[in-house]
């Protein structure tokens, strides 16, 4: 069922799947919230929602701030992006929980950038979010204070620019004034771009062979800040990733994924079973209506230290609630930042068991869409475990 709630400055649209589908819900069924990433929608959870409902959970998936029906208008690149700060994204979910009549959430589950939002939900409000599941993007906690040279990402990007050929990090590109225009009006249109983007980041693309990245000169531990040689080592290690992560300078994301998609064949393969033509059209029509700038503003807030300085309040705070990680075997997202997965398991999370670091065979970045049965199976197992401890 599609519903919406008026928040202070946005009308939050969400999919509501309840075991009883009763408007007079007494709040007795445990609540699970599913958070999408980029460029996704609440629709990305279409296969997971009914599977968890069968286990008796009340499951909700919002279109997050800046996306789909929560926006409904095209957004333009502007200087005022404070509404997209991480703290506002978390506040949206807290208000949604209260609107639904709950005081606790059995699990907050986030995919891609939604993984970061889920992590901050668990850090800010462990009294509400009783467990957390990260998907496809390890959560490493609050960003460190920026060094003299700027944020870590900007310093890595500076070193990427010195490689031959010069490169740029995709988050740097997503934060640029031109990314939305490139993706809204690519050669072949939005449908062609999204089809290629979903394909090359999936387990279907032969070019995906992810693995932990080895640093030639690993930083010492503890290290207050990385030296230039260590930053150069990071950039060099990251440079082997596909161009949808580490892009050639002066290219666009549509150009990168179009080129990647045609490497193994002269034409893009037909629509896979996990993303039919009709399902792809849902994404196409939504982003045609709103553009991509809402989601891109999330990246701008992440890459600009002045827009996440408030998160330093959580410095060195660890996630105390039970935590899980799920990703696809063919997903570079797990390894895109060297050391992030180990930091999540051993530092950020106090309670992540080895069995709850899950890699799904043959799946890529869109793991909940590509392999929904396996994802739902692991979510059920995790929820049963944390609800009996």
The CA angle 139-144-145, to the nearest 5 degrees, is 155
Question: Could you give the count of Cα atoms lying within 13 Å of 76 in the half-sphere of its Cβ?
Answer: 1
pLDDT of residue 22: 53
Q: In 185-227, which ranges are continuous DSSP H helix?
A: 189-200
pLDDT of residue 24: 46
User: Regarding predicted confidence, which is higher, 155 or 252?
Assistant: 252
pLDDT of residue 223: 45
pLDDT of residue 309: 87
Cα gap 94→88, rounded to integer Å: 10
Which pLDDT band, with edges at 50, 70 and 90, does 31 fall under? very high
- Beta-carbon contacts of 336 under 8 Å, excluding residues fewer than 6 positions away, are 238, 241, 245
Determine the average pLDDT of the residues in 164-171.
96
% of the chain at pLDDT higher than 70: 91
CA 48 to mean position of chain CA atoms: 16
Asked if residue 43 has pLDDT above 50, the reply is: yes
Which pLDDT band, with edges at 50, 70 and 90, does 150 fall under? low
Residue burial 208-218, b: 16+ Cβ < 10 Å; e: rest: bebeebeeeee
Beta-sheet strands, E only, within 257-380: 323-328, 357-360
Q: Which two tokens stand for residue 251?
A: 């290219």
Determine the average pLDDT of the residues in 4-17.
94
pLDDT of residue 222: 43
Residue with tokens 């230039």: 228
Contact 246, 239 (CB under 8 A): yes
Residues β-bridged to residue 111: 135
- Beta-carbon contacts of 172 under 8 Å, excluding residues fewer than 6 positions away, are 153, 154, 157, 303
Contact 270, 111 (CB under 8 A): no
* Long-range contacts (CB closer than 8 Å, 24 or more residues apart) made by 213-221: 213/237, 213/238, 213/240, 213/241, 213/335, 213/338, 214/338, 215/338
Which pLDDT band, with edges at 50, 70 and 90, does 145 fall under? low
Contact 325, 111 (CB under 8 A): no
Cα gap 243→138, rounded to integer Å: 20
Which pLDDT band, with edges at 50, 70 and 90, does 51 fall under? very high
Cα gap 235→225, rounded to integer Å: 15
Q: Where are the domains of the chain?
A: 2-145+310-388, 152-294
pLDDT of residue 148: 45
Q: Which two tokens stand for residue 48?
A: 């997971």
Cα gap 135→44, rounded to integer Å: 13
Q: What is the pLDDT of residues 109-119, one digit of tens each?
A: 999 999 999 99
The pTM (predicted TM-score) of the whole model is 0.94
Asked if residue 220 has pLDDT above 60, the reply is: no
Q: What is the pLDDT of residues 264-310, one digit of tens each?
A: 555 677 789 999 999 999 999 999 999 999 999 999 999 988 888 88
Q: What is the dotted CATH code of the domain comprising 2-145+310-388?
A: 3.40.50.1820
Q: 160: part of which helix (H) or strand (E)?
A: helix 152-160
Q: What is the pLDDT of residues 180-218, one digit of tens each?
A: 999 999 999 999 999 999 999 999 999 999 999 976 544
Cα gap 373→341, rounded to integer Å: 24
Q: What is the pLDDT of residues 301-312, one digit of tens each?
A: 999 888 888 898
Cα gap 65→83, rounded to integer Å: 9
Mean pLDDT of the chain: 91
- At residue 63, φ and ψ (nearest 5 deg) are -80, 115
For residue 344, the 8-state DSSP code is: I
- Beta-carbon contacts of 309 under 8 Å, excluding residues fewer than 6 positions away, are none
C-beta neighbour count of 9 within 10 angstroms: 9
Contact 135, 327 (CB under 8 A): yes
Which pLDDT band, with edges at 50, 70 and 90, does 221 fall under? very low
Which pLDDT band, with edges at 50, 70 and 90, does 146 fall under? low
Asked if residue 26 has pLDDT above 70, the reply is: no
- From 112, 150, 101, select the one nearest 336 (Cα to Cα): 112
CA 247 to mean position of chain CA atoms: 19
pLDDT of residue 312: 87
């Amino acid at each position: 069922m599609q519903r919406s709630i008026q928040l202070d400055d946005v009308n939050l649209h969400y999919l509501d799947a309840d075991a009883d589908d009763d408007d007079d819900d007494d709040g007795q069924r445990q609540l699970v919230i599913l958070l999408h990433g980029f460029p996704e929608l609440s629709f990305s959870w279409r296969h997971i929602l009914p599977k968890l409902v069968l286990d008796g959970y009340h499951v909700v998936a919002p279109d997050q701030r800046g996306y789909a029906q929560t926006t409904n208008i095209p957004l333009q690149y502007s200087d005022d992006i404070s509404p997209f700060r991480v703290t506002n994204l978390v506040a949206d979910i807290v208000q949604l929980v209260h609107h639904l009549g709950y005081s606790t959430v059995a699990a907050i589950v986030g995919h891609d950038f939604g993984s970061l939002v889920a992590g901050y939900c668990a850090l800010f409000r462990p009294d509400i979010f009783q467990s957390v599941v990260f998907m496809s993007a390890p959560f490493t906690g609050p960003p460190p204070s920026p060094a003299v040279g700027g944020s870590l990402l900007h310093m890595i990007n500076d070193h990427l620019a010195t490689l031959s050929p010069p490169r740029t990090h995709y988050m740097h590109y997503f934060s640029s004034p031109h990314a939305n225009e490139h993706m809204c009006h690519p050669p072949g249109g939005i449908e062609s771009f999204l089809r290629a983007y979903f394909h090359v980041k999936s387990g279907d693309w032969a070019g995906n062979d992810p693995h932990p990245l080895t640093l030639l000169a690993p930083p010492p531990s503890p290290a207050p800040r990385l030296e230039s040689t260590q930053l150069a080592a990071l950039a060099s290690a990251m440079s082997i990733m596909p161009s949808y992560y580490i892009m050639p300078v002066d290219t666009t994301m549509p150009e990168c994924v179009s080129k990647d998609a045609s490497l193994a064949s002269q034409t893009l393969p037909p629509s896979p079973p996990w993303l039919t033509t009709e399902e792809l059209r849902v994404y196409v029509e939504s982003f045609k209506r709103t553009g991509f700038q809402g989601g891109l503003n999330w990246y701008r807030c992440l890459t600009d230290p002045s827009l996440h300085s408030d998160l330093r309040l959580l410095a060195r705070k660890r996630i105390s609630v039970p935590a899980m990680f799920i990703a696809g075997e063919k997903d570079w997202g797990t390894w895109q930042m060297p050391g992030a997965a180990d930091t999540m398991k051993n530092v950020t999370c106090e309670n992540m068991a080895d069995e709850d670091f899950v890699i799904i065979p043959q799946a890529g970045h869109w793991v909940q869409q590509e392999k929904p049965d396996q994802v739902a199976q692991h979510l059920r197992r995790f929820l049963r475990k944390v609800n009996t401890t």
